[in-house]
Amino acid sequence: MKYPFLIIGSGLSGLAAAIRISNYCPDVLLLDQHSRIGGLNSYYYRNNRLLETGLHAITNYAPKKQKHAPINKLFRQLKIKRDEFSFKEQIGSQIHFGSDQILNFNNDVNLLISEVERLFPDCHDDFCSLLKKIEVHNPFQNTTGLSARKYLEEMISDKRLIEMLLCPLCYYGSSVENDMELNQFVIMFRSIFLEGMFRPEGTIRDFLQVLKQRFVDQGGTLRLKSKVSRILVKNNTAYGVELDSGEIIEADNILSTAGYEETLALTGRDLKTRIGKRLAFIESIFLVDDSIKNNLTTSKTIIFYNSGELFNYQQSAEIVDYRSGVICFPQNFQDIGISDPLEIRLTHLANYDLWQKLSSTPEEYRRVKLQCSARSAETAEKIIGIFSDNIVYQDTFTPVTIQRYTLKHEGAIYGSPRKIADGDIGFTNLFLAGTDQGFLGIIGSMLSGVSIANQHFLTKI
C-alpha cells in the first residue's frame, strides 16, 4: 500500500502532526522504532511503578480563557477539548547561584519581578523594560545567529542576574554552548517565566494515550517496532522508506522528526562538516523512602542550580559536570498527592565521547554510572538535605542510553545547534519537524508538528 502521508517518529511532534493531518485525511502512517510512543517523553516500569522519561514539567501554562496562548492554540488545531485533561500547576521553583543567592518564581510573573527587585534592586527597572520587549518580540522573525546573552547584556547591567535568568532557559532548551539564539530565548522566557510550568494530573502515559486514541479513531495507522533504516530518494524527491526488516513502504509525502543531521543520514546525504558542538546530559532517578520527606529542606517543584560565579553551559570536559544541574520533584505540583516512595530527578551536563568509550566495557560502564549517580546525589544533598541513605531504587540515563533509545546523535536531546524553522531540508516532499525545527518544550514540540503539517502537507489535500 502507498500512503499519502508517512511520519517517522511517534514523539510529541510526530503525534501532533499525525493527528492534525488525519483530521482531514485518514491515510496517515506513523512509524516508530520502539514498542511505546512518546519518543523522549515516554515511560517504563520498574518495581511495579511507572517512571517517566524526559518529562520534568510542561511549560507554556495558560488558563482556558487565554485563547491565543500556545497551549490553547494547540488543542484547537488538534480538535481536542482541553477538558479531556486535568492539568496541575507547579507549586513553585527556584534558581540557586553560589551559596547565597536564591531567585524564586512560579506561574505568576509578579513573583519573579519582586524577587529581582529584592536581589538586584538596581536592575528592577531594566528587568521590567526587558519584560515589555519580550512581550512584543516576534520570535518567528529571521534573527538567525543573534545572541540572547548579548541582548541581555545590552539591557541588564548585573552579570549575575543574566546568568541566573539563562540557567533554567538553557537547561530546558538550548542546543548552543553558553548562550541561546535570540528567538529561542524569547520563546523559552515566555514559556517558563511569563506562562509557567505544569503537568498532567496523571502520568505521561495517560497524556500519550489520549493523543494516540485520537489519531487511531480518525483512521490513522500506527506501527511500532518499525525502525526506518533508509529514506528512499530519487533526485530531490522521497518516494518511501525501507525498514530494518527490509520492508519497503511507499509514500507521497514524508515528515521526519528524527533530527536534521539524522534525517539527512537516512537519505544517504550526510553533512560534510558537523554543525557545532552537541550538548549531552545525564539524568538519575531516585525513589526515596517517603518517611524522610519532612527532613528535606524543599517543597519546590524544580530547582536549577549553579555552584560557581559564572554559569558554564558547555560540553563537559569531564564525564559529568556537577557544577550546575536540575533537581526535579515530579510530585510537587498543586493538588497532586505525594507519592511513596518520593521521586527525585537530577540532571547534569555530560561528555558523550567519554561515556561512549566506557560503554565498550560494560562492567566499568555500570560501575562509573553508580559512582556518578552517587556524586550527583551528594551534590543535590547540599541544597535539599540528605536522602541517599533512604534510596529504595535508582536508575541513570547516560548520553549513550539516550542515543540508543532516541537515535539522537551523541545523545543530544536538544539536537543540532542549527535549526530549520520552516522544516525545509532541500527535498520536494520530505520535511522536518521536532527539536531541530527550533520549537521548544512539550507544547512547542507539538506545535512544531502542527505547523509543518499546516505549511507543507494540508495544502496537498
CA separation for the pair 39, 32 (Å, rounded): 9
Instruction: Report residue 341's pLDDT band, with 50, 70 and 90 as the boundaries.
Output: confident
Is 274 in a helix, a strand, or coil?
A: coil
- What the block records as the C-alpha cell of 70 is 500556545
CA separation for the pair 396, 320 (Å, rounded): 12
pLDDT number for residue 144: 66
- What the block records as the C-alpha cell of 369 is 554510572
C-alpha dist (Å) from residue 105 to 43, 59, 405: 28, 13, 33
Bridge partners of 43, per DSSP, are 52
pLDDT number for residue 274: 64
Average pLDDT over residues 185-205: 94
**C-beta of residue 238 within 8 angstroms of C-beta of residue 429:** yes
Average pLDDT in the chain: 93
Instruction: Report residue 338's pLDDT band, with 50, 70 and 90 as the boundaries.
Output: low
CA separation for the pair 312, 310 (Å, rounded): 6
- Alpha-helical runs (H) found in 53-203: 70-78, 109-119, 124-136, 148-153, 159-171, 182-189
- What the block records as the C-alpha cell of 331 is 510530585
Each residue's pLDDT tens digit, 399-414: 999 999 888 889 999 9
Judged against a pLDDT cut of 80, whether residue 275 lies above it is answered with: no
Each residue's pLDDT tens digit, 133-146: 999 998 877 666 78
Judged against a pLDDT cut of 80, whether residue 337 lies above it is answered with: no
Instruction: Report residue 273's pLDDT band, with 50, 70 and 90 as the boundaries.
Output: low
Grid cell 547591567 — which residue? 157
Tell me which H or E stretch contains 369: helix 362-384
Amino acid, res. 229: S
Average pLDDT over residues 422-431: 96
What's the pTM? Answer: 0.94
pLDDT number for residue 143: 61
